[in-house]
Amino acid sequence: ETGVTQTPRHLVMGMTNKKSLKCEQHLGHNAMYWYKQSAKKPLELMFVYSLEERVENNSVPSRFSPECPNSSHLFLHLHTLQPEDSALYLCASSQDQGWTNEKLFFGSGTQLSVL
Amino acid sequence: AQSVAQPEDQVNVAEGNPLTVKCTYSVSGNPYLFWYVQYPNRGLQFLLKYITGDNLVKGSYGFEAEFNKSQTSFHLKKPSALVSDSALYFCAVRDTSNYQLIWGAGTKLIIKP
């Protein structure tokens, strides 16, 4: 158990739906991340939060909207997605963000399919 | 531009044989290098890192990696492969401008009995 829990594990949604992904970390970390994982591609960093403040937003379309209400919880709100958004969405946490030797702790991911 | 390359999509090794998963990088300044492993239906798990010091880094599950500055490589190795090592392996380097990780595309390692 990595200490990072993601729900749901699988999600199928239509392009007009609104859904949310949830991440919770039990490690007392100060930084949380959303990554997109597509087959045979490098992980794409989407958002970074440090102490509940967004510090990185890598040109992600506005149909993805993150929310970090406290240092233990992270959400990714989804609306009007496209089929190419189908992927595994991974949440991760670290003690702090920006430390050069720090490691990330990942959840098991949400496998998203957009129909 | 800073980048990481994993030249092999897949590596096949017989159980008990040594394995190598290759990684090369391009970064300005001193590299901070990492290996992560992803087992089926799981998130990524940290294996090992190189920050400074000895070029041979030891990590979890008997894995080690060799940092080679002249070849800008950080290959992952294990002397004797196990079937349970079958997984997806990712190399990453720390971006020196914003400290976020730059990832390779991953290498699928298949260990056959």
Instruction: Give the tokens for residue B24.
Output: 């090369």
Q: What is the dihedral of CA A96, A65, A72, A88, to 10 degrees?
A: -80
Reduced to 3 states, what is the DSSP secondary structure of residue B109?
A: strand
Q: Is the pLDDT of residue B106 over 80?
A: yes
**pLDDT score at B44:** 95
Find which of A6, A101, A110 to mutate to test the B interface (most B CBs within 10 Å of its CB): A101
Put simply, whether A23 touches B (Cβ < 8 Å) is no
Put simply, whether A74 touches B (Cβ < 8 Å) is no
Q: What is the mean pLDDT of chain B?
A: 94
**pLDDT score at A15:** 86
What residues 57-76 of chain B have any CB closer than 8 A to a CB of chain A? none
Lowest mean pLDDT across A13-27, B44-58, B86-100: B86-100
pLDDT tens, residue order, chain A (115 aa): 459 999 999 999 988 889 999 999 999 999 999 999 999 899 999 999 988 888 777 789 999 999 999 999 999 999 999 999 999 999 999 987 766 567 899 999 999 999 9
Residues in chain A: 115
CA Rg value for chain B: 13
Residues 6 or more apart in contact with residue A76 via CB below 8 angstroms: A20, A21, A23, A34, A46, A47, A64, A65, A66, A67, A89
Nearest CA to B82 out of B11, B12, B14, B9 is that of B14
